[in-house]
Amino acid sequence: MARVFNFSAGPAMLPEEVLVQAQLEMLDWQGTGMSVMEMSHRGKEFMSIAEQAEADLRELLSIPENYKVLFLQGGASMQFAMVPLNLLRGRTQADYLNTGLWSEKAVAEAKKYCQVNVAADAKPNKYTTVPPRKSWRCNGEAAYLHYTPNETINGLEFQTVPEVDIPIVADMSSTLLSRPLEVSKFAAIYAGAQKNIGPAGLTLVIIRDDLLDISIPGTPTMLVYKTHVEQQSMYNTPPTYAWYLAGLVFKWLKNQGGLAVMGERNRRKAELLYSTIDNSEFYGNPVDPNYRSWMNVPFTIAKPELEKVFLQEAKAAGLVTLAGHRSVGGFRASIYNAMPEAGVQTLVNFMNDFANRNG
């Protein structure tokens, strides 16, 4: 079967060139006579793959020298615990912005370890916009501010980094690498890989090196950032194949022209989709245009009874995984880096045609 345009929120599409290269190297990585999956993580071959991946990521994001890059497991969900366990640093309170369902999960986990102050809450407006900065109630005693720059389910994305005077921690699972980023504005950034980075099973953490000295006593060794910093993310066996594939994705991004080029491409893709929705009476998206996500575009149709038909016909047209998250319904098109502009164009052509026939 021909490859489809897969709008899944994650695990998501990977660049075809990356998959082809992985296929070519599957049985014999660069004359070693073995697959990357079969290599010792401590051997010089895998070490070179690991080091190159980190170097390419550092170049893509211009990561300053005083930041460590970790290649971990446990998903972004494990970071919901690792962040308070490591970054409270003797304090007992933290500020969180609640802008969607992933923020809610981060808040719930942090409450096990500290007093959480929700400095701004978008829930009352159903996560369609972020309360204005001047209304936020930040806590002077907070160790850090945690937020979710892009809410994968609700399709709400900050277009700028919040201005606060405490360390900022960001769950960038569904936005990292989608556009240029000023890493130095953050104390720590984390992201599950399965959207813009590579396959599931790998979690990236980028953390300022002066924040690594204290974790809550009793924190399991595996949940202490310093453990992984001191062992170059090889305290235990890392997810070697996912790390390798992420490295191929980083090379692909560099070949595309880097994050400025990707950002422009992603902006065009999102604009095309939102303008199709806004110019139609048939489709709707409730999110404040100032906070609309470039990566995850939820939408509804005027006749919800046709949702199943929409999904069936879309699938027949090679457009798959467009159902909205089970908690919000409707549809969602996730248009990460690996979704080509042609995929979004095919989707909007289908949407216009469907509306003409059913609207």
* Binding interface with ligand PMP (CB under 6 A): 9-10, 75-77, 102, 148, 152, 171, 173-174, 192
Choosing from 95, 121, 136, 195, the catalytic residue is 195
| Catalytic site includes residue 171 | yes
User: Within 13 Å of residue 119, how many CA atoms lie on the same side as its CB?
Assistant: 23
Choosing from 29, 171, 251, 252, the catalytic residue is 171
Residue nearest ligand PMP, Cβ-based: 75
Per the CB < 8 A criterion, the answer to whether 93 and 117 are in contact is yes
Task: State which residue, 111 or 303, has the beta carbon closest to ligand PMP.
Answer: 111
Residues contacting residue 43 through CB under 8 Å, at least 6 positions apart: none
Choosing from 29, 56, 95, 102, the catalytic residue is 102
SS3 151: strand
| Catalytic site includes residue 121 | no
Minimum Å distance from CB 248 to ligand PMP?
20
Minimum Å distance from CB 100 to ligand PMP?
8
Task: State which residue, 170 or 319, has the beta carbon closest to ligand PMP.
Answer: 170
Minimum Å distance from CB 315 to ligand PMP?
22
DSSP assignment of 181-220, as one string?
--GGG-SEEEEESTTTTSSTT-EEEEEEGGG-S---TT--
User: CA angle, corner 88, sides to 87 and 93, nearest 5?
Assistant: 140
Task: State which residue, 306 or 323, has the beta carbon closest to ligand PMP.
Answer: 323
Task: State which residue, 7 or 102, has the beta carbon closest to ligand PMP.
Answer: 102
In the chain, the amino acid numbered 342 is: A
Per the CB < 8 A criterion, the answer to whether 215 and 194 are in contact is no
Residues contacting residue 3 through CB under 8 Å, at least 6 positions apart: 16
| Catalytic site includes residue 195 | yes
Task: State which residue, 75 or 239, has the beta carbon closest to ligand PMP.
Answer: 75
Question: Could you tell me the two tokens for 72?
Answer: 């971990």
Residue holding tokens 């489809």?
4
Residues contacting residue 33 through CB under 8 Å, at least 6 positions apart: none
Minimum Å distance from CB 31 to ligand PMP?
34
- Burial of 48 per CB tally in 10 Å (0-12, 13-18, 19+): exposed
Minimum Å distance from CB 60 to ligand PMP?
20
Q: Give the 3-state secondary structure of 26-85.
A: CCCCCCCCCCHHHCCCCCHHHHHHHHHHHHHHHHHHCCCCCEEEEEECCHHHHHHHHHHH
Minimum Å distance from CB 130 to ligand PMP?
15
Active-site annotation, residues: 102, 171, 195
